[in-house]
Structure 1
Amino acid sequence: MNRFDYARPASVAEAVQAGTGEQVRYLAGGTNLIDLMKENVDRPTTVIDINRLPLNVIEELDGGGLRLGALVPNSDTAWDARVEQRYPLLSSAILAGASPQLRNAATNGGNLNQRTRCYYFYDVATPCNKRKPGSGCGAIGGVNRIHAILGASDQCIATHPSDMCVALAVLDAIVQVTGPEGDRAIPIADYHRLPGDEPWRDNTLRPGELVTGIDLPAEDFTKNYTYLKLRDRLSYAFALVSIAVAMRIEGSTIAEARVALGGVAHKPWRSTEAEKLLKGQQPSPQTFGAFADALLAGAVGQGKNDFKIPLARKGIVRALKQAAEATPQSQTDKRIA
């Protein structure tokens, strides 16, 4: 770990003023940043501790939504009565991730901005365009079992590791940020980005910008939903494929359905065009299978992760069935329903 300057601002304005600079990092729970610093993957010249900022509350929004403070721990978010009752999909997704100890420390803003768990990104002795632009991608042709099948480029095939963000994608969350140029509201669909020719850019934050909160619009997905996470072991493991589903059923017909995938791309993967195939249909294996094929159109394996494509298809069909039957996946008894 390199030497660095440390600052602990008392206000958001002070944090933004101190946050300008290429090698400046904001520190919240530290569950990702500290690991990166220990491994010399990230070598900031200045670390700004934002834990004293007033961003640790969950607030009601006009119209029935909620604003999740950026510094609210993941565990407090998942167990908040309002989140459990009004956004159970989000609560379930958070509880599917990490361990209780990490969820107690990790924050909402940090979860949003966590970096990939690609083996090559963490190993400074190997090539990685995300860590060192222009060095190559060791995962292409290498050990790529956990890597992307959608939205990848010839520069990077890493995946975004968050569970929370997959649920946020389905809920059409809005990320609130502030920076040197003022405040911005970024739709979650526009927040994370695909690697393209700049894989080192994980999101659309501008230099010095700080996430202050995450807005959840008022929605009623409290009955027909699920978060299904497929992984190598039942706890403390990142998703090979995860599926978040929020559905509304009127009578015997699907009035609305939203689906996002995790573990398969550089960002949560969602297609509003594919979702149109579900609207107005009756729940059935045939309907769900056709949707899965559309959502996975263009999926490409890298050899060792080819299995992810059929795994994702089966997982999508199973998750849609769970949501349609109002039998969401339990994050306590993790056997697949």
Structure 2
Amino acid sequence: MFLRRAKTPSLHLALVSWLSYLLWLVACSGSPLGSADGSGGETGNASSGGKPEAGAPSTWTKTMPSIANFAYFSGTSSTIGPRILVRGNDPSTRISSLHFEFLDAEGKPAVIDPDGDGASESAELDVDVPAGQPQGAFFVALQSAPRFDETVQIVAVTPRDTSANWGERKMAFITSMPLRAEGQDCDADGFDSCTTGTMCTANGATESPRCMSIAVVRSSRCNGAPVIVARSGAQSVSGEAAGTSAWDAPSGCASDERRGGPESTYWLRVTSETPSITLTTASNKTNFDTVVYVLPSCTAEPQDALGCNDDGEPPSSTLTLRDVHPGSYLVVVDSLDAKGGSFELRVTVP
């Protein structure tokens, strides 16, 4: 079954059940990216209408959507399958969709039969990319199901613009994700990975992303987190989940396939024994799918959470803590959408 993030582009009706689907579209600014082959992406094969055809006449220009970076990475665990990442240029804001083809080692359509019933699933997938994004670039990530790479060895992708013109078709062979050490430059979109205990983040708006200690990043963010003092009645704070992710929701509270979204943190200061405290993001000011959890300290891991909730009607989450002792607790408003967004957190003490 496909899993979709809230507020993501729609898929064509012929969905394939073997791919757990996550679509991240990132609004990028700045100068256009280079092409996937380093040639600058000014010309390439294209066709108009129908399906993309290899060797079609060269009809598109540098103003059309083009693929800058494209990778197909093998699975990282037995529960999370391979990832497909596409980053491209869209200088004239004409991107409409991406057409994916899943191929075997010989470049032929892969035979995909995840449930072993003898009925093969479709080896093609169309992903609609929303219009109205800031001019510049787009980013799409597909998270596949485990064992997907047993039959799919090659992935091809072709961009299509709003006039039904096909851009240049690109192919990616399955490979291992490059690994970066602490202090090395890294790619914030996930085209490489940092070593265990580190994460890819930028230390300031003007610096390039690099691998930094997760503990150091968390400590810095905790030190700057606003404080909410629990008191009788209701109080609300507005915030934004943005940037890179330093925390993830505890396993079992939210889908493992929807990890890596940005978050925002607050200190909840409780000054006396309190029978219950309710935290909720249910508000018309919340514009992304949230998950809320509370940690006993900044150094605690997500599995040590005192409570977690992702069961509210999207995008809201509502969590009630019982018999809360005096102390300071770290409240994490996490995003199940890759981009995050704005939210309102209401804290109520009866």
- TM-score between the two structures when normalised by the length of structure 1: 0.24
More helix by share: 1
Normalising by structure 2, we get a TM-score of 0.24
